[in-house]
Structure 1
């Protein structure tokens, strides 16, 4: 039995879809906070179980019988994500889950300026200490984020950032498909497993791509981080969101997202989607 958490989200929901191409529905269960939102999986024969990291008592039954358990990382900005992940790992250990796979991030590190990267590093440490076999799917930074990180460049002709650095922009769709393939390998991948696109362009490179795509001259402008935050806040963004996003740019500048790995393409049996494709999609919306 493969149990997937967060299946009503885009990442793990797509992983379930790929698993259904490979396995009978009776071999798959999804664990969600609101079972009504997973009706489309129930209609396909997938077992839907209620489970919520914030309600630890709900987790043992939700994880019971799992040979493999895919844990999605918490995206609740107001929660103590590490504590939530600890509750899930403890429940997995309690019911004897065969292997825990966790949706981590390429830049997982305790000293990253990007807050989620610190959460991922702490969660991987919990997994390492749990005694349960584990795999951390260290996905590259999701390429669809380019749509909002680059701002309204199609209108202004300029990409304004508070710092610049290389990022292995990786399609979430590719990461979801790779997760299904790794689940299908039944334990072949152990510990941190990096899944990235083959290249890591900087925002300067992204501006050059945008210029090539549009036939216009798109410039990149690196401004003072505090000036960038102030501009975001003046535009109506909550300050905590602006500072959260600032951490991503600073992590890129420090090289936390620079590494690339051929494994994703090997698993997919094709070239992963590129930053150019993601930028093309972002420009179309």
Structure 2
């Protein structure tokens, strides 16, 4: 049985949906913190069990009978994230899984400027030490994050962000589809995959131009010094640690950590990945700048 964690989240949920087009529902299970939120999966014949990365006993039940386990990375950072990922890895090993898959990130490395990439690197080390074959999905940066960074720019006409570098913004749906392909073709990748990215790496100058084209309203990109941007975030109630991590995205992009473009995702999908222009058109046009 293929077990997917975090199946009530955006990436995990879409991965399960795409997996159902490739394998019977009876061969799929989900491990979720709140089974009530996964009722639609249960209605389709998927095994739904409660599982938490902070409760080893729950994972033993949720992962029972697993042939493969897809660990969707948590929305924590630092040691807490790595601790939870290690617990999930231990649970998969104890369940006898033949292969563990993990949603990592392009640019994962111990010296990354971006904390989550350091966390992903530490988790990949734990996977190597587990003794079980693993696949680490080196996902491109979520395109939805680019939309969130635009924020109120669609009202003000200006996006003021720190200096950045090119980023391979990649759609959740494409990454979920790729994960399903790899799960259905066990062993297709051993260890970290190549970067799973869209076909272009874009700066926020590029994104402002795309947003202008999509909405028909001029969006100007201006550069805010790192310190000022951090102060503005903290002034709006963002915790200091979270503000520092957001700045890490820009520092990492300036260092070229997210600039890679690779054909692997297109090969897995059998088509070109969704462009950021399409993502922006779908989300910004629907919201009409609100």
Residue correspondences, number:
285
Any gaps of 5 or more consecutive residues in structure 2? none
User: Cα distance, 1:77 vs. partner?
Assistant: 5.1
- Aligned positions of 1:206-285 closer than 5 A: 206-284=207-285, 285=287
The aligned residue for residue 18 of structure 1 is 18
The aligned residue for residue 112 of structure 1 is 112
The aligned residue for residue 93 of structure 1 is 93
User: Cα distance, 1:216 vs. partner?
Assistant: 4.5
Deviation string, structure 1 residues 163-219 (Cα, Å, up to 9, x no partner): 211100000011001100111111111111121101101111112222333444432
Query: Please, which moves more after superposition, 136-145 or 274-283?
Result: 274-283
- Aligned positions of 1:56-67 closer than 5 A: 56-67=56-67
Query: Please, which moves more after superposition, 74-83 or 14-23?
Result: 74-83
| 2:143–2:171 CA contact under 8 A, matched in 1 | yes
Instruction: Show structure 1 runs of 4+ deviating over 6 A.
Output: none
Query: Please, which moves more after superposition, 46-55 or 71-80?
Result: 71-80
TM-score (norm 2): 0.93
- Is 1:178 aligned to residue 184 of structure 2? no
The aligned residue for residue 48 of structure 1 is 48
CA RMSD of aligned residues (A): 1.6
Once residues 45 and 217 of structure 2 are traced to their aligned partners in structure 1, the CA distance between those partners, rounded to angstroms, is: 50
The aligned residue for residue 166 of structure 1 is 166
Once residues 36 and 121 of structure 1 are traced to their aligned partners in structure 2, the CA distance between those partners, rounded to angstroms, is: 33
The aligned residue for residue 205 of structure 2 is 204
- Is 1:83 aligned to residue 83 of structure 2? yes
Distance 1:79 1:25, change over 3 A: same
User: Cα distance, 1:137 vs. partner?
Assistant: 0.6
Once residues 104 and 158 of structure 2 are traced to their aligned partners in structure 1, the CA distance between those partners, rounded to angstroms, is: 32
TM-score (norm 1): 0.95
Once residues 100 and 266 of structure 1 are traced to their aligned partners in structure 2, the CA distance between those partners, rounded to angstroms, is: 22
Once residues 104 and 190 of structure 2 are traced to their aligned partners in structure 1, the CA distance between those partners, rounded to angstroms, is: 13
User: Cα distance, 1:78 vs. partner?
Assistant: 8.5
| 1:161–1:223 CA contact under 8 A, matched in 2 | yes
| 2:7–2:30 CA contact under 8 A, matched in 1 | yes
SS of structure 2 residue aligned to 1:137: strand
Deviation string, structure 1 residues 25-44 (Cα, Å, up to 9, x no partner): 11111111111211111111
| 2:104–2:139 CA contact under 8 A, matched in 1 | yes
